[in-house]
Amino acid sequence: MRSYELFKQYIWLVGTISRAGKISLEEINRRWLGTELSGGIEIARTTFIRHKAAIQDIFGIEIECDTHDGFSYYIANQEVLQENSIQNWMLSTITVSNLLGDSRSVHDRILLESIPSNGDNIRLFIEAMKTSRRITVTYRKYGFTEPSEHTVEPYCIKLFQRRWYALVRHITRDSLFTLSFDRIIDIRLTEEHFKIDKDFDAQSWFSDCYGVFRNQDADLERVVIRAYGREAFYLRDLPFHHSQREIASGDDWTDFEYWLRISNDFYTPLLSRGPNIKVLQPQWLADEIRQQLLKAAGLYEDR
């Protein structure tokens, strides 16, 4: 069987078991026969065992059998399917890719957004992470005509709002900072090796940030935002931040609480909502957003 077809089966199995919570092989086959993937042929137990092993090897997803509950199967490490895990991203991406591949007749009616990046630079960066090698990066900042060159240690990669970012440690400044891959002109691997800080955890580093920029000089602050009308529904479906919590509501408003280190990139989602949200706390942030909105309105005064 072609690898492409096998991958489709792996994705289908993970999705089916995850949605069911626990499910027997008999029930898996009942649902399997209802798909076009099956070709009317059940998944043999030996094939299922091979698929289970391949899924763990490729995606790190452990499918276990509960012998005390009708020999039902379940995902033992469900945490790897969290929204921002690489396993979940891979599964979602491959699932959508499979759907698009099977939808050629309507391809001109499926509209996507491009993600600016240089695949070769991402490949080299990941290779440097895997081999713990320093890299020399040629980088052009916005507003600068000439690029600059830096030797850095690659710590992690993050996708945020259609852009790939790299978190690196500058060896002369001894500090972590973020680069955008679409502004990286060139990456060269050096022969110098490094040891990543044993206490570094990528998830923890970004956990109290809005996006990819961590303001290390800022304290963790409580932010309260009031959403008016239907804006509350959008925030419930797509929270600003994982710490979001609904704390109060009225006839036409809902208050949401966040805990994060406020950086300039957090202004963008607040400003983009215009009159649909209001910052209640902290006061300095409310004042800043008000000034930004007044400045924006001032651009239209002469028209």
The pLDDT tens digits for 57-108 are 887 888 999 888 888 999 888 777 765 666 666 666 666 666 565 566 666 6
| Per-residue pLDDT at 174 | 78
Count of C-beta atoms within a 10 Å radius of residue 8? 20
Please give the average per-residue pLDDT across 239-265, as a whole number. 94
Residues 194/134, Cβ–Cβ less than 8 Å: yes
The string of pLDDT tens digits covering residues 22-40 is 999 999 999 888 877 788 8
Is 249's pLDDT higher than 70? yes
| Short-list 56, 91, 103, CA closest to 76 | 56
Q: Band of the pLDDT at 15, cuts 50, 70, 90?
A: confident
| Per-residue pLDDT at 104 | 62
| Per-residue pLDDT at 137 | 93
Is 204's pLDDT higher than 70? yes
12 to each of 39, 55, 83, 163, 290, how far by Cα in Å?
14, 11, 18, 28, 49
pTM of the model: 0.70
